[in-house]
């Protein structure tokens, strides 16, 4: 069939505001979840991870929340900066590094 | 510590040809995974190697294959190229199996099939 490009959802935020990027995952058996950031022309870059026995984990300016009941993951970025502009992917590791990626969200930071 | 390197960075091939892509993981990492990224399908897992053994494989046809050498360097091969194989091929290494899950990605090889 005809190949259609993915239309990435876009989140536009003002510089200095907080960003929240959401993701739904599919495999209830996954025990490890990761957020990646991908800038144009580069490979994905690890941001933060969380195991299924946790519901919240904080890093530097980032927080990941995991709701296993509804299979939902979110990434919160505090005080968003222009350098945060990128595509963000959630991913689930189903074992032996078989990582399933979400479709991605494009974050645009407005100066 | 040097990051994950992939060669070549760009490649143009014609339909029916075959191609081999190379990945050098971070020193000490024994797990190497390969992914295909396209606008239509996003990021998809191809396979993972650890200590020269393929431990996991995604849903790709047999034209896609790989191997890992004793120094953990890995290659992937695509035979009988099709137009739909045009993509960014990403390699990631991790210390999974020896303590860590975190994957580090290379910059990718951009393959164009004409």
Residues A97, B48: C-beta atoms closer than 8 Å: yes
pLDDT above 90: percentage of residues in chain B: 83
**Which pLDDT belongs to residue A58?**
97
Answer yes or no: do A103 and B42 touch at CB < 8 A: yes
Flag if B105 and A4 touch (Cβ within 8 Å).
no
Whether pLDDT at B101 is above 80 = no
All residues at 6 or more sequence positions from B107 whose CB lies less than 8 Å from its CB, including other chains: A41, A42, A43, B6, B9
How many CA atoms does the CB half-sphere of A49 hold within 13 Å? 16
Average pLDDT over residues A57-80: 95
> What is the rounded average pLDDT of the residues B83-102?
84
pLDDT grade for A93, boundaries at 50, 70 and 90: confident
Please say if the pLDDT value at position A3 is more than 50.
no
What pLDDT was estimated at residue A8? Answer: 78
Q: Which of A41, A96, A100 sits opposite B48 (nearest CB)?
A: A96
Q: Tokens in use for A25? A: 């995952």
Among A5, A98, A100, beta carbon nearest to B40? A5
**CA angle, corner A40, sides to B82 and B86, nearest 5?**
0
Q: How many CB pairs under 8 A join A and B?
A: 69
Q: What is the DSSP string of chain B?
A: ----EEE-SEEEE-TT--EEEEEEPPTT--EEEEEEEETTTEEEEEEEEETTEEEEE-S--TTEEEEE-TTS-EEEEE-S--GGG-EEEEEEEE-TTTT----EE---EEEEE-
Q: What is the mean pLDDT of chain B?
A: 93
- Per-residue pLDDT tens digits for B7-50: 999 999 999 999 999 999 999 999 999 999 998 888 999 999 99
pLDDT at A5 over 50: no
**A104, closest residue in chain B (CA to CA):** B42
Is the pLDDT reported for residue B56 higher than 80?
Answer: yes
User: Does any CB of chain B come closer than 8 Å to the CB of residue A53?
Assistant: no
Model confidence at B111: pLDDT above 90? yes
């Amino acid at each position: 069939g005809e190949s259609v490009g993915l239309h990435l959802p876009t989140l536009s935020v003002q510089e200095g505001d907080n960003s929240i990027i959401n993701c739904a995952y599919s495999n209830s058996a996954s025990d490890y979840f990761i957020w990646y950031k991908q800038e144009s022309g580069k490979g994905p870059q690890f941001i933060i991870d969380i195991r299924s026995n946790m519901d919240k984990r904080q890093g530097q300016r980032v927080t990941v929340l995991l709701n296993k009941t509804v299979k939902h993951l979110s990434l919160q970025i505090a005080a968003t900066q222009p350098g945060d502009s990128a595509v963000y992917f959630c991913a689930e590791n189903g074992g032996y590094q078989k990582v399933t990626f979400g479709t991605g969200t494009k974050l645009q930071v407005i100066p | 510590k040097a990051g994950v390197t992939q060669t070549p960075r760009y490649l143009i091939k014609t339909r029916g040809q075959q191609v081999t892509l190379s990945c050098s993981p971070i020193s000490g990492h024994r797990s190497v995974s390969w992914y295909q990224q396209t606008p239509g399908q996003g990021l998809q897992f191809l396979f993972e190697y650890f200590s020269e053994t393929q431990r996991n494989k995604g849903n790709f046809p047999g034209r896609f294959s790989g191997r890992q050498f004793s120094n953990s360097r890995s290659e992937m091969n695509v035979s009988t190229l099709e137009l739909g194989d045009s993509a960014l091929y990403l390699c990631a290494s991790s210390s999974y199996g020896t303590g860590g899950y975190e994957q580090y990605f290379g910059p990718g090889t951009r393959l164009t099939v004409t």
